[in-house]
Amino acid sequence: MTEPLLPAWSEPFVKEELAAGLVRASRVDRIDREWAWGGSTGAGITVAIIDSGLERDHPALHGRVVESVAVEIVDDEPRVVADDAGDLFGHGTACGGIIVGLAPEVELVSVRVLGADLRGKGTAFLAGLEWAVERGVQVANLSLSSKSEALFAAFHEVVDEAYFKGLALVSAANNVAGASYPSLFSSVFSVAAHAVPDPWRLYYNPAPPVEFGAWGVDVPIAWKDGGSTVATGNSFAAPHIAGIVALIASKHPRLTPFEIKTILAAVADDPRPVSARRHASRRRGA
Amino acid sequence: MAAEEAPSNAALRALQAAARRSAVGRRLQGDVEQVLLQSIVDATVALFDAEASSIAIFERDPERLEFRVAAGEQGAGAIGLSVPPSQGIVGYVFSTGQALALSDVLSDPRFDRRTAEKTGYVPRSIAAVPLIDGQVAVGVLQVLDKRSSPTFSLRDMELLAVFARQAAAAINASRVQRDTTLLIREVLRSIAGDADDAAIEVLVGAATDGLDRDDEAPFWRLVEQVSRLRGMSDRELGLVGDILDVVARYSGRPGRR
């Protein structure tokens, strides 16, 4: 192999044989939901649930759990081991259930980063995220985040790595004041709750840090020990976006996280009442 | 402890005196933190028109979330109760720092009822937000059963987060004073930047030796008794002072140990 004459990142722009990699599927104005995920089931996509574990035999998960691991802290060093503890709180199962509800053929990987010995350990969460990135999942749902300033750089590094690998990190915005990582990083899909009881209703917010809105109020969810309940929180909004991202990624396998964000922005619902929308489109001459 | 590491006797005596005075002061003043937290749950219950509201604070050895204050008609049973941080809604909110609310709790017969039953009240709905002090969660504020609605709205969650910030600030403001050992340790650390942790622990141990709150010890019983005199008039307090004066003079007489 010959050495490239140009820095590597210029190659796709100048080499004809690589130009095909720049051809995108569609322009934003031609994107609609049918194109984005019509007919998709999420098949071929693996979603990591970085949370409290998954209850493999919970009816809401429809047997889609293919692997379960947990982070263990031994001598202050986190390591990832196979896990059969199920779900300590029910929360991971709730998130997994929402995702399978939207994308029934995804495969779920449970990365348990919560537990008696992992309380408040940002390093455990970080190790779980790193593991998911290395394992090669396409989507990860993170309904938690760390407030540790000390871990800022480490989280930044792994989130960038995920982004460059094409892994979509979907993170629930923390609704408690103060910084939290990685939900505030620009490359993640940061999600907060809206109250419209519709799993498909999604909003795009061009004023970051929280870019997307999804159903997160009074959501019927799976819970511990095969049970179910109704819950409110940003952490139930995030898996709605994760499920839709999985559908898009399944139908269009080469899309990068920023392209998926663009698609979500293009198909996002208009939060204005119908009358206001008509008025606006008349003024635009549409 | 090696001889060269020993603090001078005068310095140690000063530290011991400061530690003792701080512990006595805290006793006499009453628990400010408790009063503030109580006012927050009182306000929460009133504002939400809820059956109960309570605050659990994280404590160590063993690690647990201990319900310290509660308000509302159904709240009292929670006080003093502890739950493991790896269990239930309160544990999840504490462990993840993520606020959440569950409604229709009773529809799941296996829902974490054990803890709820211990309080004598099983709620239909719960909203819980973490108390964040700086970068770490220090506890959880929860509300049970809003009377006007079977669920909690996003606005409710935001409002609850505001109360949680107040509670966290109250805990932060009083935590150092609450723990004399911590106070001395923090002071030593800040003035002896290059001293290692082990050396500081030796000093802390020496300064607070004998301060362990043994409520049965006669001295602490006396402090407790004196603390109950807070509501007295100046004249009454003067009388108590005179009595103590006589006792002190008697105890200083030759021939008495």
What does the pLDDT average to over B187-213?
74
User: Distance between CA atoms of A16 and B102, rounded to whole angstroms?
Assistant: 56
- Judged by a CB distance cut-off of 8 A, whether residue A147 touches chain B is yes
3-state DSSP of A177-232: CCCCECCCCCCCEEEEEECCCCCCCCEECCCCCCCEEEECCCEEEEECCCEEEEEE
Checking if the pLDDT of B257 tops 60, the result is no
- Establish if A279 touches chain B: CB-CB under 8 angstroms: no
Query: Which positions in chain B touch A228 (Cβ < 8 Å)?
Result: 107-108
Q: Which CATH superfamily is domain A41-270 in?
A: Peptidase S8/S53 domain (3.40.50.200)
- For residue B59, give both structure tokens: 């404590």
Q: Give the model's pLDDT for residue A15.
A: 62
Statement: residue B155 has pLDDT above 70: yes
Q: Are A162 and A169 in contact (CB under 8 A)?
A: yes
Closest CB from B85, B129, B132 relative to A119? B85
Q: What's the burial of B219, exposed, middle or buried (CB within 10 Å: 0-12/13-18/19+)?
A: exposed
Chain-centre distance for alpha carbon A185:
13
Asked if B86 lies within 8 A of A231 by C-beta distance, the reply is no
Flag whether residue A217 sits within 8 Å of chain B, measured between CB atoms.
yes
Domains and CATH numbers, chain B: 3-30+180-251 (no CATH), 32-178 (3.30.450.40)
pLDDT > 80? residue B214: no
Instruction: Give me the count of residues in chain A.
Output: 286
* Nearest C-alpha neighbor of A141 from the set A76, A212, A47: A47
> Which conformational region is residue B11 in: left (phi greater than 0), alpha (psi within -120 to 50 degrees), or beta?
alpha
Give the integer Cα–Cα distance in Å for A165 and A158.
10
Read off the pLDDT of each residue in A249-271 and give the average, rounded to a whole number.
Answer: 93
Distance CA B146, CA B39 (A): 18
ipTM surpasses 0.85: no
Q: Is pLDDT of B30 > 70?
A: no
Mean pLDDT score, B134-148: 90
pLDDT, tens digit, for every residue of A28-77?
Answer: 667 899 999 999 999 999 999 999 999 999 999 999 999 999 999 888 88
Q: Determine the average pLDDT of the residues in B84-107.
A: 84
What pLDDT, on the 0 to 100 scale, is given for residue B178? 61
B215-229: per-residue pLDDT in tens? 567 777 777 777 777
Sole residue written with tokens 């700086």: B134
Least confident of A77-81, B48-52, B120-124: B120-124
CA–CA separation, B229 and B245 (whole Å): 16
- Choose between A145 and A69: higher pLDDT: A69
